[in-house]
Structures are given as C-alpha cells and as structure tokens.
Chain A
Amino acid sequence: MNFRPLLPLAASALLLTAASAQPAAAPPPATQPIDVASGAWEGIVNIDVSVLFPDYREPWNAGQPSGGSGTGFLIGKNRFLTNAHVVSNATRILIRTTNDPEPHPAKIVHIAHDCDLALIEAEDGSHFERLKPLDFGGTPQLNTEVIAIGYPIGGDRISVTRGVVSRIDFRPYSHTSVDSHLAIQVDAAINPGNSGGPVMQEGKVVGVAFQGFSGRVAQNVGYMIPVPVIKRFLKDIEDGRYDHYVDLAASDFPIENPAQAKALGLNGGGVGVMVGDVEPQGSVADVLKIGDVILSIDDNPVYNNGLVRYEGELVDMNEIVERKFAGDKIKLAYQRDGKKAEATVTLKRFDPYVRLGAQYNQRPRYIVHAGLVFQPLDRNLMDAHQMRDSTVNYVFDNFLTDKLYVERPEPVVLTTVLPDEVNTWLTPYAHSIVDEINGVKIKTLKDVQTALEKKDKPFIEILLLEKNRPLVLKRELVEAAHKRIMQTYNIQEDAYLGDE
C-alpha cells in the first residue's frame, strides 16, 4: 500500500525527496496575506515529542528512544488537538508557538488511536490564556479551496499550503492499520510535520491533516480527518473517558445476483444487503444470522451494496454506526426466511479487532520462565519478531475469519528460548503458539502464570499448537536455571502482566 502516517522520523526523507522532485506548480492566486505577528494563527503550535519505541523482542528492556515533531491547535482553554500518532509513545511533549521561542511541557489528556486524534494540555496553561482558540466549520464541498497550516519539514516557522477538496470517502487510517473512517482528500501539500495541524476554510477548521501517500505512489494526495470524526472524538471524551468506536461486528455481502435476491425473498427495488458473517462476540451476535437481509438501519434504507443515503450523500451503512457511542442503541430492520423483523441493538466495542492493529503507549507484557519467553500475540509482536511460523501466521491472519478469538482471546506465543543448559533442546520451538501448560488451557498470558504456579508434578509440561512434541522441563532443574538465566541475560523482572 505504501500508505503511511506522516511520522516525521520514518517518512521524512522519503517524502522530502518525493516532494522536491515534483514539478513546481504555478501557485494559485494569492488571496489574503496573513500577518503572522497579528496573532490570528498563534493557536497553531508546534509539538516536539521525545518517544520511546517499546521493544517487543526484549520486552524487559526500555526500548528505543527517538523523537519527532508535529502540529497541534488550540480548541479551548489549554486544550490542543493533534494526531494520536504525533504523541504516541511519548516520554516528553513540548509545545512551541510561532512567536515565542519558549518550550512549554505538555501532557496527553485523551488519546484515540482508532481515529488518530489526541487532546493534550500544557502543564502550565497560563502562557496560552491570551490566545484565541480555533473554531470548527463543517464538511467542505468538493473543489472548494482549503489551506493547511502547520510546521512541516523544510523550515522552523509556520507554513501554509493551499489546495482544493478532491474527494470525500471512507479510508483506512494508517495509524492502527485496521480502522477505517471518513477522510477528506485534499491536493494541498501535506508533508511530515503537518500532522495534527488544522486544514481551514473561511477562517474555520474543516479537518486535521494526518496522512498522505508517498510521492512515488501518487501525487498531491493528502488526507485530513473531517469534522464529524473530530466532533465524535470530542463528544466521546466529554465523560472524561475515551470509549472507542463501536461496531456492528458483522460483514455485509452485496445482493447483486438475481438468484440470490430471489432466494432471499426480495422482489427488486434494490433495498437490502445480505449478512455474510457475524462475529459471535459482537454487538449483533444475538440478533443477526448469516443469510439475513438488512433492510434499514435507524430507518435509513440500506441499498443492495451496503450503502445508505445519509446527510445527502451515499455512504457506507457503517457510517451511521460510526457516529454512535458505546452503549448507544441502533434500530435494525431485517428479513429472515422471507419474514420481516426489527430489533434494537446496544452497540459495543469489538475487542478482538484491537489485537490486529498497531497498539501504542503500552509496555509489552511477557513472562520469562527458565529462559522461555511467553508473549501475547498481536500486531506489534508479529512485526517485531518477523514471525514466519505457519501456525502463528495462520492464527494471526484468521483470528477473526475463523473466530479463533472465541477459544483463545489472547493467543500466547513462545517467542524466544534464551539458551541455557536446561532448555538447550527446546530452542527450535521458539515461534510457536502455546496450547496448554501443566494441563491448563492457555487462553491469555495470565493463564501462563497460573499454570506455572501448579507444582504438583515433577515436570513442567508445555503443549504447543500443531507441534507434535510436548516441551518438558524438570522442575528440580528449573529454579536454579531460572535465576541463572535472569542474571546472564540481564533481565530485571521475570514478568510484566500489565497494570491491573
């Protein structure tokens, strides 16, 4: 895909060269000169971040320190909006305004990785009291002019680029790599460092610049998070907590085939989409079945391709769910075996989904025992360990499609065997899914701890998924070996199971 967030560190060189290679387009006619000293844009600030990338290979280590910078803007009293990816894994956040060289330490108030937004505040807000917060506009029309303001690469001072709204569509948000929401495409140059900055029209914020394409893939394509997504985030956190997006957790399959329409009892009209899959732990698990036809959602008719007409636009029916919050209700009309039915569903977050996306601001969880390192399976782990084992890849890739999360909500992987006399025959078994330890079925990392505490037998017995041999360790050898290994490999703590 080559679709990447505008993380300054990883992408800057690539994007910088790509940008300079573009032919210099004639600038659009200047409209209104802006006097930066006037203070109109002083609420648009530079955010300088020190980050620590967690180490999923040596989870007991601190990780890799690094840094980056992005943009944010004042939306209320000491409240700055920016992208989640700008402040993810941050150990220090500094805010700078364009007319004041003083750095102001700041902290995260709320962060929403699923829609790549974060709210931060300065530790001492008094510096920003005289600044005017920016106002939000609505969703801009296609082919209308917008400007992107921020602190992208190429200089230290504030920068403005101009373009038009090119497209409004559902897009993947690359920060987590699994979430998709409404996004607006603009042809204003959006470069590394623009992330988190406002995109404005007629003096009002119409979006937050957040991602683009590498110049090698597409030209003049930048994306901003539109106001409906921002408003939803701000409303979600009103109760002091971010509850995440909610999902129907069902997949729809278009009804384009005449035999299919007939078999499902539809008589033309183009209304109704087939339910192709239902997640047994999702919001509609007890309501919908495979082969049902969804006719309407909150009284909006659903067309045969899964679209609804909403606020004048044809959008995916999930857009209606997108605007809702955890605990909200949604009305579904559906048809089963030719009979119409209605149901009201309480929406909730679908947790198994989260594991498939990148996660941030988390200390890696692990257990080390006699040199055997156990870690929960998620995208961060897959990426860090470059897993090639076919079983591990199968479980990760089909976690949802084959409903593997039902049996094993948090698959545990034996990721590493730190070589020692006690485990020297077990080293080939690294990168295996742990099925059972000492007779305890391993459904989460916590189960590993529980299982290892069972000491009724002279052997620790570990069964791996689809590996034909149990791993056994003599308990009388394990204790001394464990201490020795911890010391040799410089491991301070033998487990981190999360802050619970």
Chain B
Amino acid sequence: MKLSQTLLFLALGTASLPAQTPASESAPKKRVAAAAQEESVPQQVVQSRSLVKVNATSQSYNLHLPWQKESPSGRRGLGVVLAGNRVLVTGQMAADATYIELELPEKGQKIPAKVVAVDYEANLALLESPPSDKQKAFFAGLKPMAVDTSARIGDSVAILQTGRVGELIKSPLTIGKVLTRRYNVEGSGFLVYEANGIIRSEANSFTLPVVKGEKLAGLLLSYDSKNQVTTILPAPIIEHFLKDVADGNYEGFPSLGMELQLTQDEQFRDYLGLKPDEPGVLITAVMKGGSADKAGMKKGDILTAIDGFSIDSRGDYKDPQYGALSSSHLVRGRAYVGDKVDIKVIREGKEVVLKGELTRRKPDDYLVLPYLFDKGPRYVLMGGLLFQELSHPYLDAFGDERRGGAILRLARIAAHPDKFEEEGRKKLVFLSLVLPTPSAQGYDKLGGQVVTKVNGKAISDLNDLAEAFKSAKETVHVIELDEFPHILYLDTFNAERDNMRLLGGAYRIGSLKRLE
C-alpha cells in the first residue's frame, strides 16, 4: 500500500506540472549559444557517470489467501553508484523483489543484481551484481559518488533524472526545513529534508538521487506537486546505513522505545511541578524490553536531557547543524545499536541519571507485525479454517470503507497491543477465513475472532497453534475464541481428510502452513 506513495506523487506531478518550469526559464540563453555551434560540433549532453537505472520486479504475497502471490509489477528507479561497485536505492525498490537488474542510462546495457542489505524502516537498500566479466565491463565507465552530510536549511540541492538517451536532467531545490518523520512503514520518525521547488516529470520512479554539488545529499522520498514540496531521505541516514552495512553485521537504527507528551500548557507544567523555562517532557509509556526500559526509565518520568542535549517542552533539542529538531533523532540518527546512552530525568522532584545501551526493536518483537516484505505471511490451515497472525499490512489491505465489525476490533488491538503483550502473547492468532469444507460446515460466516486456546492449550503464536492441533482429546479439536461463538469443534479425522483435499484442490493450496 504505502510503497506506491512516491509513485503516486510523481504521477500526480505529470498531470499538474505547469508548462513554465524554472528549468526552461534559463534555457533560451543557452539555446542561442548552442545554435551558433550547432553546425560544427553536435551539442554535448551531460551524462552522469555515477547513476544507473534500476529495474525491479516485485511480487507480494496475498495477505488474505496467504499461500498465493499477487501479480508481479515493475518498479523503476535511478540508483547511485557507491564505492565497491555497489548501488544505493530506496528500500521500496528491494521490497518483495523477484528480479532486479541494473541498466546503463546511455548504452542501455543490463546486468542482474541482488540485494546486499536492506532496511525497510530507513527505506534504504544496497544492490550489487555478482563479479563477472560482464559486471566488470558494466562498471568500468562508472565512478562512485561520495556521500555529503553537510546540507543545511537554505542549501541548494538538485534532483537528478536521466532522459531517454541518458542525458542528465537536474531540478534545483532549496532545503526549507529539517524535521523527523515516519518513512513508509509503521514506526518512529527519521530525519527528513523538506525542500521546495518544481521537479520536472520524466518517468515514474521509486528512487531519484538528490545531489549537493557533485555529492550525494539524499534520495527522493515524496513529491507533492500541488504544493511543490519534496521530502528527501537525507545523507546522514544514508551514511548511518552504509557504516552499519560495512561492518558485516547489520543491526539497524536504534530507538528508545517510549512515548512522550509535550509540556507547553502552563497549567500542565504547574501540575507536573515544572518551572516556566525548565526543559522536559512527560514520559507516558515505556515499551517493555526497549532501550529506555532497560536503562530504567519509568512512565511518569520527566525527560530533560539525552546525551547532554537538553530536551525542551516541545520534545526538541538544539541540533548544531539544523537547530531545533525532535529528540528522536538523537537516538535514531546520531547513534548506533550498542552505543551507550545517558538520559536525565526528573522523578518525584529529583534529577536521576539513567545509563543504558541502545537497542533496536525488531519487527518480530512486536505483537502486531509492523511490515512484511520478501516473506509470505505465516498461516495454518486446518480443515478449511485459516488461522493467521495479525499484522498491520493485513489490516491495511482492507481499506477504510470495509473497516467495520471484526476489522475495527482487530485494528484497535493493533493500536493498543499492551494488554495482549502483558498476557504473554507473542503474536495475535486469529481465525481469518473459513473455506467451505465438510468439516467446517456451519462455520463459513465466521472470521476475525481471536484464538485463545486450542485443545486446552493457550495460544501465543501460530507455532503454539500448530503444536496444539497435534494433541486433540479423543477425535475432536476444540478451538476457543475470544468472542461469539466462543467455541468451535472440528472432527480430527475429517479435518485431516479435508486438508488433503485442499492441497492442490480448487483453492490451489500448495502447503497447509507457513511457519518459517
């Protein structure tokens, strides 16, 4: 769903870009000059020696019929050649990819590539082509681009695109703001440059490089053609990603794992015992097992500083490069997993210094999976009853209109998973669909109920469920649900017989479960 964002913005741009663009304003002068030389020397088009076209085919799994894949679709982007003949693209290019190839913009020569590293939260991926003569020849004329993290508010940058024969097309932009924002999967915010200016529309693309001078300043995240606002995935995040990849053990971006509330309201400050100009925000939730939790942070603490940076009532710190910026960047962007962190809080009126080590919460650590790429959703099929683990992509696939009843209930669990996590559940197993089989007769209108027990055993994930189905008392499976009708019975023998019939039957089921 979210992957299409960039694509959509650019597509909109095609429709509404004004005829008069800044690029063409300066064009006439050059044209006059070029015309004079035309007869003697053909015009020299500027080529980029550091960009390659990237063509990816992606195919995601069907979230409602998880044994099946959706139809494949193509994505194009412009990758940046880095040292070691590696190519940087956005994570979206690598998501659910079945085939990726690199193409030289000018000559059109192509070679296949694979993903070396990908971080879907930071929306970055690194590609490479296995060494071969062809690969050597492909990269021979290419020159790695350096990463430049120096961009600041007010700096001029340019989005690069290539034309039909590989000619370089530059759209100049000015960075107007630096802030933190979620990229394209659930999770906390990353650093973003917001820039103003018109991007001329060449072709829909999932990756476009942004340069400052000759160096890489970021990758395009989104373009809003109506307001001419561009968001850019900035070089500091790219550098962080590349450093992490370089040590051979990719760990990702750390987070503190807490929720904070702003303290600008004077009455609220009074209530918390904060003096008018005192720094600090209220901590209202601390995620179990996160960095903040391990460092000893508690709900109700007032966070005043991280690593010596004072946190103001908006939750911002003063960044030496960008000015006021969300404190989340102190951890997410500036630090690495395993780094030490110093946190100052006020607890019961006294200042307390908390020391800890930064960790990252992996997608699998969440009760409700925040995103899922490259893998099929886990499922267990038993006698026509399809069980799945709740995930955000599953809920998103419903769209807003169909979010009634069961989906509304499941969506709320996804938004407030704490209670279920406290119960000791690792994942939320639910009955997602009932296929019409003889053993599931009478159950076909059910769907969306959370499974609590099977054959008397508590279910904390699908592995538990698969295991519990092996231990039926007598000849009946007893499945307990958290709501109407609360109990389902399934004949063990008939369910197995239906399982066999489902394999390769009308529903084209190749496997009765996916638990990897």
In whole Å, how far is A306's beta carbon from the nearest beta carbon of chain B?
12
**Contact, CB under 8 Å: A472 / B442:** no
| Chain A 414-425 interface mask (CB, 8 Å, partner B; 1/0) | 000000001001
User: Among the listed B271, B475, B483, which residue makes an inter-chain contact with A401, where contact means beta carbons less than 8 Å apart?
Assistant: B483
A251 within 8 A of B: yes
**Contact, CB under 8 Å: A394 / B267:** no
A119 within 8 A of B: no
**How far is A479 from B385 in the complex, measured between Cα atoms in Å?**
60
B416 within 8 A of A: yes
**Contact, CB under 8 Å: A255 / B270:** no
**How far is A425 from B409 in the complex, measured between Cα atoms in Å?**
30
A217 within 8 A of B: no
**Contact, CB under 8 Å: A472 / B489:** no
User: Among the listed B268, B282, B411, B443, which residue makes an inter-chain contact with A257, where contact means beta carbons less than 8 Å apart?
Assistant: B443
| Chain A 246-270 interface mask (CB, 8 Å, partner B; 1/0) | 0000010111111110111000000
**A262-B476, A263-B476 are known contacts. Are A402 and B489 too (CB-CB below 8 A)?**
no
**Contact, CB under 8 Å: B484 / A256:** no
In whole Å, how far is B376's beta carbon from the nearest beta carbon of chain A?
29
User: Among the listed A253, A276, A397, A425, which residue makes an inter-chain contact with B265, where contact means beta carbons less than 8 Å apart?
Assistant: A425
**A263-B476, A390-B412, A390-B415 are known contacts. Are A402 and B483 too (CB-CB below 8 A)?**
yes
**How far is A472 from B263 in the complex, measured between Cα atoms in Å?**
12
Q: Find the B residue at minimum CB distance from A472.
A: B271
Q: Find the A residue at minimum CB distance from B267.
A: A474
Total contacting residues, chain A, CB less than 8 A: 38
Residues of B within 8 A of A425 (CB): 264-265, 267-268
In whole Å, how far is B28's beta carbon from the nearest beta carbon of chain A?
51
B408 within 8 A of A: yes
A12 within 8 A of B: no
Residues of B within 8 A of A459 (CB): 267, 270-271
**Contact, CB under 8 Å: A257 / B484:** no
| Chain A 282-293 interface mask (CB, 8 Å, partner B; 1/0) | 000000001100
- Which of B259, B412, B442, B477 has most A Cβ within 10 Å? B442
A468 within 8 A of B: yes
B424 within 8 A of A: no
| Chain B 379-423 interface mask (CB, 8 Å, partner A; 1/0) | 000000000000000000000000011001101100110000000
**Contact, CB under 8 Å: B486 / A277:** yes
A469 within 8 A of B: yes
| Chain A 271-303 interface mask (CB, 8 Å, partner B; 1/0) | 000101100000000000011000000000000
**A262-B476, A394-B409, A401-B484 are known contacts. Are A254 and B271 too (CB-CB below 8 A)?**
no
Number of A-B contacts (CB under 8 A): 99
**Contact, CB under 8 Å: A477 / B412:** no
User: Among the listed A251, A254, A401, A474, which residue makes an inter-chain contact with B442, where contact means beta carbons less than 8 Å apart?
Assistant: A254
**Contact, CB under 8 Å: A256 / B271:** no
**Contact, CB under 8 Å: B485 / A274:** yes
**Contact, CB under 8 Å: B476 / A468:** no
Residues of A within 8 A of B486 (CB): 276-277, 290-291
A473 within 8 A of B: yes
**Contact, CB under 8 Å: B487 / A290:** yes
**Contact, CB under 8 Å: B411 / A390:** yes
| Chain A 453-480 interface mask (CB, 8 Å, partner B; 1/0) | 0000001010000101110111001000
- Which of A259, A262, A391 has most B Cβ within 10 Å? A259
In whole Å, how far is A220's beta carbon from the nearest beta carbon of chain B?
30
| Chain B 270-297 interface mask (CB, 8 Å, partner A; 1/0) | 1100000000001011000000000000
B478 within 8 A of A: yes
**How far is A474 from B415 in the complex, measured between Cα atoms in Å?**
32
**A291-B487, A425-B265 are known contacts. Are A397 and B476 too (CB-CB below 8 A)?**
no
Could you tell me which residues of chain A, from 413 to 451, have a CB within 8 Å of some CB in chain B?
422, 425-426
**How far is A425 from B272 in the complex, measured between Cα atoms in Å?**
15
**How far is A255 from B285 in the complex, measured between Cα atoms in Å?**
45
Could you tell me which residues of chain B, from 407 to 447, have a CB within 8 Å of some CB in chain A?
408-409, 411-412, 415-416, 439-443
**How far is A391 from B475 in the complex, measured between Cα atoms in Å?**
42
**Contact, CB under 8 Å: A253 / B485:** yes
In whole Å, how far is B284's beta carbon from the nearest beta carbon of chain A?
4
A393 within 8 A of B: yes
- Which of A257, A277, A290, A393 has most B Cβ within 10 Å? A257
**How far is A256 from B267 in the complex, measured between Cα atoms in Å?**
61
Residues of A within 8 A of B285 (CB): 468
**A425-B265, A472-B271, A474-B270 are known contacts. Are A259 and B491 too (CB-CB below 8 A)?**
yes
**How far is A425 from B439 in the complex, measured between Cα atoms in Å?**
57
**Contact, CB under 8 Å: B267 / A397:** no
**Contact, CB under 8 Å: B485 / A397:** no
- By a beta-carbon cutoff of 8 Å, the part of chain B in contact with chain A is 259, 261, 264-265, 267-268, 270-271, 282, 284-285, 404-405, 408-409, 411-412, 415-416, 439-443, 475-478, 483-491, 494
- By a beta-carbon cutoff of 8 Å, the part of chain A in contact with chain B is 251, 253-260, 262-264, 274, 276-277, 290-291, 390-391, 393-394, 397-398, 401-402, 422, 425-426, 459, 461, 466, 468-470, 472-474, 477
Further pairs besides A394-B408, A401-B409, A466-B416: 12, Cβ < 8 Å: A253-B484, A259-B475, A259-B476, A262-B489, A390-B408, A394-B412, A397-B405, A398-B409, A401-B483, A468-B284, A468-B285, A474-B271
User: Sorted from nearest, which 4 A-B pairs have the closest CB atoms?
Assistant: A256-B442, A276-B485, A425-B265, A259-B491
Enumerate 16 A-B pairs (CB-CB under 8 Å) in ascending A order.
A257-B439, A276-B485, A277-B483, A290-B487, A390-B411, A390-B415, A397-B405, A401-B409, A402-B409, A425-B265, A425-B267, A466-B416, A468-B259, A469-B261, A472-B265, A474-B267
